[in-house]
Structure 1
Amino acid sequence: MSTSMISGHWLAVASGEHVRIGRSAGFMQVCHGKAGPLRRIGAGDGVVYYSPSNGFGVQDGLKSFTAIGRVRAGDPYRFDMGGGFVPFRRDVDWAAAREVPVGALAGQLDFTAERNWGYQLRFGLCPLGERDFRLIAEAMGAEVDLRLSA
C-alpha cells in the first residue's frame, strides 16, 4: 500500500482520558494494546475515536467523538508504559477538533442506523464509512484532509 493513499476510515473506542493522552502525544492504541487490530489500519487512513465514558470502566455517559486524524506511515510498535505493560501503538496526525456527543449526529450516521449500533463497538475498532467520517469531521470542526484516492 502506498503511504500517500488514503484507503479507509476507522472508528476506534477508548475512554476519553486515554484518547486525550494519545491525542496529546500523537499516537493511538486499541483493544488494550493489541497489535492485530492496528495492523488492519493503513497509512493515511482516517480514524475517529468514540469514547463511551471519560474514564476506563466508568459510566459517566460521555458518549462522544473525542479525536479525529490520519494515521502516519509505519508499522505498529511497542511502547513500554512501565509496570510490565508494553502495548502496541500507531502514530497519528490528530486534527484540532472539539469533542462532540454522538447524540448531536443522531439519525445522520450510517453506523448508528441499526437499533443495536453500539454492539459493533465492543471489538474496539471497526470500519467506518467515508460519509460518516466526513459528517463527524464536520461536526467536530476538524480540518482533516478528506481527499480519497481513486
Structure 2
Amino acid sequence: MTGDRTRYWVNTISLDHVLLGVEGGFTQADHGADTRLRRLRHGDGIAFYSPRTAMRTGRPLQQFTALGVVADDEPFRVDVREGFRPWRRRVDFEAVAAVPVKPLLPMLGFIDDEEHWGLPFRRGLFEVPSGDFGCIAGAMRDAADGPVDVIGARG
C-alpha cells in the first residue's frame, strides 16, 4: 500500500495510553521507537485498538477506542523521564465513541481467521485497507451519536 494517497492504520495501545495521547494530541508505537512511526504520513487516518484498559494490569477491553488523522510530517522526540525519550507523531483526534471489535470482525478484511482474530493486533501499528478503516470509523461515529461515553477531541 504505497503512493501519494492517504493510507490507513490501526495502532494497538492500552486504553490508558490512548487517553494520554488524546489529551496530548499524539501517538506512540513500539514502546517509543520511531521505526513504524516513520511510515505514517501527514493526513493518514489512524484508529486505535485497545486490548486492555491498562498495559499490563488492566482488564480486557477489546475495543476500538480513538480515531484521528496524522497531523505532522515527521516523528518528534520527547523527554518523559530519565532514560525514556519516546518518539511520537501528532494526531488530530475526532470525537467518537469506543466500539467493541467482535461485531466488526466479519467486515474487516485484515482479519483472515475469526477464530484467531487477535493475531493482527499483535503487530502494534499496522496498515489496513481503506474499506476496513471506513468500517471502523463509521462504527465509532455512529456510536458517538447514541447514549454512550465519548472519547473526545482536544479542544
With structure 1 as the length reference, what TM-score do the two structures score?
0.86
Is the 8 Å Cα contact of residues 9 and 126 (structure 2) preserved in structure 1? yes
Distance in 2, matches of 1:121 and 1:65, equals: 11
Is the 8 Å Cα contact of residues 111 and 117 (structure 1) preserved in structure 2? no
The equivalent of 1:19 in structure 2 is 18
Distance in 2, matches of 1:51 and 1:127, equals: 16
Distance in 1, matches of 2:80 and 2:42, equals: 24
Instruction: Give the strand-richer structure, 1 or 2.
Output: 2
Alignment of 1:52-63 (within 5 A): 52-58=51-57, 60-63=59-62
Structure 2: 5+ residue runs without aligned partners?
145-155
Distance in 2, matches of 1:123 and 1:109, equals: 16
Report the RMSD for the aligned CA atoms in angstroms: 1.7
Distance in 2, matches of 1:6 and 1:92, equals: 18
Q: Given residue 42 of structure 1, which amino acid in structure 2 is its aligned partner?
A: R
Q: Report sequence identity in percent.
A: 38
With structure 2 as the length reference, what TM-score do the two structures score?
0.83
The equivalent of 1:130 in structure 2 is 130
CA shift, 1:108, in A, is: 1.5
Structure 1: 5+ residue runs without aligned partners?
144-150
The equivalent of 2:69 in structure 1 is 70
Alignment of 1:93-112 (within 5 A): 93-112=92-111
Is the 8 Å Cα contact of residues 75 and 90 (structure 1) preserved in structure 2? yes
Is the 8 Å Cα contact of residues 63 and 99 (structure 2) preserved in structure 1? yes
Closer, same or farther in 2 for the Cα pair 1:87/1:78, shift >3 Å?
A: same
Residue 121 (structure 1) aligned with residue 125 (structure 2): no
CA shift, 1:109, in A, is: 1.4
CA shift, 1:84, in A, is: 2.0
Q: Given residue 133 of structure 2, which amino acid in structure 1 is its aligned partner?
A: F
For residues 57-103 of structure 1, the C-alpha deviation after alignment (integer angstroms, 9 at most, x for no partner) is: 13522000011111012210101111321100000000001011102
